[in-house]
Structure 1
């Protein structure tokens, strides 16, 4: 079977066989076989291609890395574990936003703590103007999932929906900024995800606790690992099914 993931990654980055062949030092026919016949390149070639298309080896070649090596890489992707979201230092959030050069992706229900920073909207606007892709995924305030989560947190059925509407009002000035996309989702949110290029903060959700009191994983993407990739794919799945708000 063809390697569709590799094919799509090259297409997204407008890379042809000749360019990949030149970067890896092989014949263009070899590159073609990597795609059409799903041949697995040598590790040095996988590293080079993964870097070119900004994907992990695990995503492009799921079976290429031995289980024991993958386990080691996955453990190394964990930078820090915080017992509670409120324990994450504020300068970590600021640093991750400021250093982002390619994309910022946020998946929450409301995420009101983010907009407590009065400079956030201005910072995101500047990032977008500098070519950073901004994707903001908030909960649909009218969805059953948001109402259920609100009740589970013990704050009343409509409170979380009201928080989301407040967040939307704050983010609205970004709606017309090129490079910024805002969507609403109606999924059961198992984790809030905050991705900044190849780093990510994952706020796990715990039944009966507000997100601020639940643990956070600080992850850094490594080639060959799939812990970071798991959450990245989860974000994409929610994004694909979400819709823009009706302002």
Structure 2
């Protein structure tokens, strides 16, 4: 039996027929998934199921993430997606929900988070009130770096507009102790999002926007590995960054 899938369905109050409709399969197929834990659905069905149930794919079918314990230099790589948009939105919510010590959003605009995550501001406020450090690293909307990237992207919804949307959302929660925001230009083509010991990394490609970027899901398992190197990179940019809210940064 796939007990993890059964529990996730129970938590979501979703039956076999309902999940089948979400995944574009028939109810008998979902029944077979439940009856045999070794049965692994097609990737698009796994993503649809994890999105519908609000849990990470690795919790439902862990064998798809790692069939065996890895010992090589890539052992911190949990999963790889050709596009950020190919990852289930539930993955982001799951990582945010599980984090208790640190949430760092070092995307140049972080705009997509507010679109894809319902009541993100409220979730971040609760996390900060529980003692979690919440940091946003953003590009400056009026900088030459931003203008150069806008020329490269050449899309109607410009970077500066997307950054200002994030700034407007952060303005609503900036009075919460533990929520901080800084401007930086050092992550123009590399976004890093940290959730305690999990991390999402997206290197941006020329003439592409964020959702077209390849995406790595990392989980820390060693000193000075990939996770630590990206974390050190982000921390250095944070140190060099300019507070969005002046002298109040770090105090609220």
Q: What is the TM-score normalised by the length of structure 2? A: 0.66
Cα RMSD for the two superposed structures: 1.8
Asked if 1:178 is matched to 2:180, the reply is no
- Deviation of 1:99 (Å): 0.3
Runs ≥4 residues deviating over 3 A: none
- Deviation of 1:246 (Å): 4.7
State the alpha-carbon separation in 2 of the partners of residues 188 and 127 from structure 1.
25
8 Å CA contact 1:146–1:160 kept in 2: the answer is yes
Give SS of 1:189's match: coil
Asked if 1:138 is matched to 2:122, the reply is no
Q: Which ranges in structure 1 are unaligned for 5 or more consecutive residues?
A: 1-70
8 Å CA contact 1:77–1:225 kept in 2: the answer is no
- Deviation of 1:111 (Å): 1.7
State the alpha-carbon separation in 1 of the partners of residues 131 and 171 from structure 2.
19
Give SS of 2:242's match: coil
Match of 1:148 in 2: 148
Structure 1 pair 94–186 and aligned structure 2 pair: CA distance change class (3 A)? same
**1:61-111: per-residue Cα shift (whole Å, max 9, x none)?**
xxxxxxxxxx94431100000000001111100100000011000101112
Give SS of 2:244's match: coil
Which structure has the higher relative contact order (CA within 8 Å, separation 6+)?
A: 1
- Deviation of 1:187 (Å): 2.6
Q: What is the total number of aligned residue pairs between the two structures?
A: 176
Give SS of 2:206's match: coil
State the alpha-carbon separation in 1 of the partners of residues 242 and 175 from structure 2.
16
Match of 1:120 in 2: 120
8 Å CA contact 1:106–1:135 kept in 2: the answer is yes
Match of 2:240 in 1: 241
State the alpha-carbon separation in 2 of the partners of residues 151 and 243 from structure 1.
24
State the alpha-carbon separation in 2 of the partners of residues 131 and 246 from structure 1.
20
8 Å CA contact 1:97–1:196 kept in 2: the answer is yes
State the alpha-carbon separation in 1 of the partners of residues 76 and 143 from structure 2.
34
Give SS of 2:79's match: strand
- Deviation of 1:171 (Å): 1.2
State the alpha-carbon separation in 1 of the partners of residues 162 and 98 from structure 2.
28
**1:149-202: per-residue Cα shift (whole Å, max 9, x none)?**
11111226x921122112101111221110111111123523111100000000
Match of 2:229 in 1: 230
State the alpha-carbon separation in 2 of the partners of residues 190 and 226 from structure 1.
21
Give matches, 1:71-90, under 5 Å.
72-90=71-89
Give SS of 2:118's match: coil
8 Å CA contact 1:109–1:146 kept in 2: the answer is no
Give matches, 1:196-235, under 5 Å.
196-235=195-234
Q: What is the TM-score normalised by the length of structure 1? A: 0.67
